[in-house]
Structure formats: C-alpha cells, structure tokens
Amino acid sequence: MKPEPKPLREDIFVSLCFPEPLASEDDVSVVLKASRQISARFRYFEVLIIARVGDADDLLSACLSGSPHVRVIKVRGTRRHYANRVVAANEAIGDVVVITSLAEAGALDLPGMVAAASDQNAVTVFTREQRSWTNRLLQALGSASRFMISSGDMRTIAIPRVWMSRLLAHPQYNLALRFPPLGQGLPILHIPAPFTRISASSDATFWRRVALAYQLSVNAAPVALIGVGLLSCVVVLGALAYAIFAVGVVIFASHVQPGWFTTSIIQAGTAGYLALAILGLSMGLQKILEHLEPQVADTVVEEICNTDLPAQIHDLNVSVEMGHAPEVPHDRGPAGGSAP
C-alpha cells in the first residue's frame, strides 16, 4: 500500500531562479527536474530563467512547454559580476527566492532548502568543506569588503522576501546576493551539501576566483581610502610639526645655514598641501562611493511568460449550501383574482 502523498504547502510562493542561459538539452532537463521537485512540495511557484538576447529559442520553448509557471527574462550582455543574479532578484515575486545554478540544481534538495528558509526566516546557503589557500585570501578580502566570503559556499541560496529587500538595498547588492554582507544582522543558515562534481564554469575554477578576488579588491576601496585619509592626516600633522620646528630653530639657534629655513618651510608647506589635497579627495571619494549604486535592473528588454495561477484553482474560498427556494404565496383580491 503506497503512502498518501503529503499535501502541498500553500502558505508561501516560491521563485526558482536560474541566472544563466541554457546551453544544451541537459540544461533543459535540469530546469524541468528542479521545477518538478518544487511543484511536488509547493502549490504556488514560478521558474525564472535569465537569458541573453539572441539565445536559442528552442531551448527556452522546451522549458516553457515542459513546466508550468515559467518566465524567461532576456537581458543585454554585461561584464558586471553576478549581474544576472541581480536581475533575477529584482524580477522574482516569491515569498522565498531561490537563486541556483544549472550545475548545482540537479544534485541539491531545493524543496528542503526552501522549507528551511521559510520556517526559520533565514538566508539559507548550501556549503561544503573547502580547504584551499585561495579560501583564506578570499576571506581576508571579504572581511575588508564587509562580506562573508567562503569558497565552500555554493552558488545556490534561498532568501526570504524580507531579507531580499535588505540585500537589494545594499550598495554592492551584486555581491550581497552571492555572499551575505557582514554587520547587517542577517540570519544565515548553512546546510551541509552532498559531494557533487561541479563543472569547470563554476566558482571553483581558478579564473572565476581571480575575477572574484579582483572585484572584492575593488569593493575594498572604501577601506583603502580610509587608510589613505588617516595617512594624510599624519602627514599634515608631521608637516605642521616640522614647520614649527624650523621656526624654533631660526628663533633659538645661534647659527643657521643660509637658505635652510626657506627650504624647510617650502618642504613642510608642499607636504602639508599635498596631504590636505589627498585627504580631501579621499573623503570626497568615500562620499561618492556611499551613494553610487550600479544600475543593473535596466538591462531587461523582454519577458516571456506562461504563468496562469488561477487556471489551477477550482475550489472556492466560501462555503455554499444548496437548497430549494421557498414558494412565495400570491396575494389574491376579494374576487379570487390576482391583485393588481
């Protein structure tokens, strides 16, 4: 006797996002398999695919015909790292948004991840044990950039809607959607992932790690600017102290080499002026970086959708009791006829 299937959860809407274009029939199979996994546990869901303009329509059509509630977002090309993840996060409408990859979706328990993220209201990440010298380098750069970086964290992440809004408001939200930022009070839940072989295009490749390290170095610019500003303050104070020293030598020394005072004042003034200029530039750049945000959402140029949620709803949300209506007696006149 087969056990009765569990009822579908109806309390949350799930957005399953693939922020990478489909390259083969195997990728289509991965998308359809992940869609079936989600539909077996949750009643309301959508599958969001981020594709490039000019990608083959036959693969996208296979996904549209093979799975319900599929949305295809076509975007222009961009060199910004994790730009498609930002587009997926902006376009997703679910209570829990799952951003995954084609290389990982087929080997992970996505429904369990969604349930854990919803029940505990936490950003949920699959993680593996990873020991590499690059991991420590990325962690150091991540600390300078205020991100929780680990090469063991997989690209699959589930984010509840309340935390998604906070991540999208982060100044470096392209990285925040991949690695949770530090100092934001985000609850992070790490789920041990099974051993899986990741394709050469994943974050485990050397060149992708180099690109990530470079971007983390760029995002660590505010920390470097703070160091430059502090060093400029020290140089200004040193130049001022040296100028005071030169004046004191002229006043109190019995013999001063001709031209020494003039040279010293010029050196102190030049160093002080340059330090003040660099300090001002550093403070100005820090102010600009606080308000400068990359515009990635405007890369969307087309949307293809087959979502029709009300089509599968046949039950009513009110109780209706059917019965016979009572007969209404006719009012007759004195002569037995009907009243006018």
320 domain-assigned:
no
Residues 51, 109: one domain? yes
Residue 327 has a pLDDT of 62
φ, ψ for residue 19, nearest 5 deg: -85, 45
* Residue positions counted in the chain: 340
Tokens of 147: 């991100």
Are residues 90 and 192 both part of a single domain?
A: yes
User: Does residue 192 share a domain with residue 254?
Assistant: no
Report the number of distinct structural domains present in the chain. Answer: 2
39 and 172 belong to one structural domain: yes
Domain boundary residue among 249, 266, 291? 291
Indicate which CATH number applies to the domain containing 163. Answer: 3.90.550.10
In this predicted structure, what is the pLDDT of residue 244? 93
Final residue in a domain of this structure, among 203, 237, 268: 203
* pTM check: above 0.75: no
Domain match, 198 and 268 both = no
Residues 38 and 90 in one domain: yes
Beta bridge partners of residue 123, listed in sequence order: 188
> How do strand 153-160 and strand 123-127 relate by DSSP bridges?
antiparallel
Distance CA 194, CA 55 (A): 32
pLDDT by residue for the chain (340 residues), tens digit each?
A: 455 667 888 889 999 999 988 888 899 999 999 999 999 999 999 999 998 887 778 888 889 888 888 999 988 876 676 888 999 999 999 999 999 999 888 888 999 999 999 999 999 998 887 666 666 777 777 777 778 877 778 889 999 998 998 888 887 788 888 888 877 778 889 888 876 555 544 444 666 677 777 777 777 777 788 888 899 999 999 999 999 999 998 888 878 888 888 999 999 999 999 999 999 998 888 777 766 554 555 556 567 777 776 666 666 666 656 565 566 565 555 544 444 4
Query: Between the CA of residue 29 and those of 21, 22, 39, 62, 102, what are the distances in Å?
Result: 13, 10, 15, 9, 10
Within a domain: residue 264? yes
Q: How far apart are CA 82 and CA 20, in angstroms?
A: 10
Considering the domain boundaries, does residue 268 fall inside one?
A: yes
DSSP letters spanning 27-48 = HHHHHHHHHHHHHTTEEEEEEE
Question: What is the distance in angstroms between the CA of the first residue and the CA of the last residue of the chain?
Answer: 70
Tell me if 340 is assigned to some domain. Answer: no
Q: Is residue 314 part of a domain?
A: no
Nearest to 210 by CA among 89, 96, 81: 81
Asked if residue 193 belongs to a domain, the reply is yes
Kindly state whether residue 3 falls inside one of the protein's structural domains: no
Task: Quote the domain boundaries for residue 197.
Answer: 9-203
* 264 shares its domain with 189: no
Residue at a domain's end among 273, 291, 309 = 291
* Distance from C-alpha of 21 to C-alpha of 13, rounded to nearest angstrom: 24
**Are residue 139 and residue 187 in the same domain, yes or no?**
yes
The amino acid at residue 124 is: T
In a domain, 338, yes or no: no
Evaluate whether 55 touches 304 at the Cβ level (below 8 Å): no
Q: How far is CA 241 from the centre of its chain?
A: 49
State residue 294's pLDDT score.
Answer: 46
